[in-house]
Amino acid sequence: MGAGHAHKLYRHARSPVHELPPHCKIAATFGFVLAVVATPREAVWAFGLHALLIAVVAAAARVPAGFLLRRLLIEVPFVAFAVLMPFVAQGERVHVLGLSLSESGLWGAWNVLAKGTLGVAASVLLASTTELRSLLLGLQRLRMPPLLVQIASFMIRYGDVVTDEMRRMRIARESRGFTARGVRHWGVLATSAGALFIRSYERGERVHLAMVSRGYAGTMPVIDEVTAERAQWTYAAALPLAALAVCLTGWMLT
């Protein structure tokens, strides 16, 4: 497990965005999403500007548009929900192409779609320009409780191990001729899940013992302290400040 954990979400490159300290990036992303959510939905053009901001950051981070768009697909379930909204919402009806749609429902759908998509795009950019470990370090720098950061880091570190274990169990099941077809086979799958839990828990105990034997006393040593200079903070703050400006203009003009 000493090998580098370059996760598939991370996209390695050398760019100004990659080199920013992680906590600046997390704070900037959060600020950006907050500004987007606070933007009034009637200011349609404002969301175009927000999208433009994201596109500029993506270009600066050398993240190709195709990569970003493919990762946006995670949003599809909510798109389906948003499409339904004009049909079920109350309020005045407008007729488009012979369909009776609720006007407020259309606004609601637009609201969720625009803000949700921009939020997803911002998180995708964050995850693809920041390594997992430095993301966790950044969260710690932002005063997230250390125990929570440790739990999250163990989850990230062992997530692939546990998933792999699950995959091996699946291969073992399938090589014995098992295919799950319906509810009748849930027992077998649940037994696998139970076995997976026992293995994970026991691995947790072993990991703990190994840590204790190396001098663990409840806190993890921080060996690569990241600090941010004023210039880096200013640089990172450009995105949320621009979004805030767009948001405020949106409030003033509508």
| Binding to other proteins, residues 177-216 (CB under 8 A) | 180-183, 185-187, 189-198, 200-201, 203-205, 207-208, 211-212, 216
Segment 85-114, which members bind other proteins (CB under 8 A)? 85, 88-91, 102, 104-105, 107-109, 111-112, 114
Q: Does 6 bind other proteins (CB under 8 A)?
A: no
How far apart are CB 15 and other proteins at their closest, in Å?
Answer: 19
Q: Does 244 bind other proteins (CB under 8 A)?
A: no
Report the residue number, 168 or 229, with the smaller CB distance to other proteins: 168
* Choice from 123, 134, 232, 249 touching other proteins (CB under 8 A): 123
How far apart are CB 225 and other proteins at their closest, in Å?
Answer: 20
Closest CA relative to residue 111, chosen from 76, 92, 86: 86
User: For the chain, where are the alpha helices, taking DSSP H only?
Assistant: 16-19, 22-38, 44-60, 65-71, 76-88, 103-129, 132-141, 146-175, 186-213, 230-253
Q: Tokens in use for 165?
A: 């274990």
Report the residue number, 179 or 230, with the smaller CB distance to other proteins: 179
How far apart are CB 19 and other proteins at their closest, in Å?
Answer: 20
Secondary structure element (H or E) that encloses residue 102, with its range: strand 99-102
Q: Does 129 bind other proteins (CB under 8 A)?
A: no
# residues near other proteins by CB under 8 A: 89
Rounded distance, CA 196 to CA 192, Å? 6
Segment 149-168, which members bind other proteins (CB under 8 A)? 150-159, 161-163, 165-166
Q: Tokens in use for 144?
A: 């997230």
101 forms bridges with which residues in the sheet? 94
Residue 128 exposed, middle or buried by CB count within 10 Å (0-12, 13-18, 19+): buried
| Residues composing the chain | 254
How far apart are CB 224 and other proteins at their closest, in Å?
Answer: 19
Report yes or no: 53 and 237 within 8 Å, Cβ to Cβ. Answer: no
Report the residue number, 111 or 236, with the smaller CB distance to other proteins: 111
Q: Does 16 bind other proteins (CB under 8 A)?
A: no
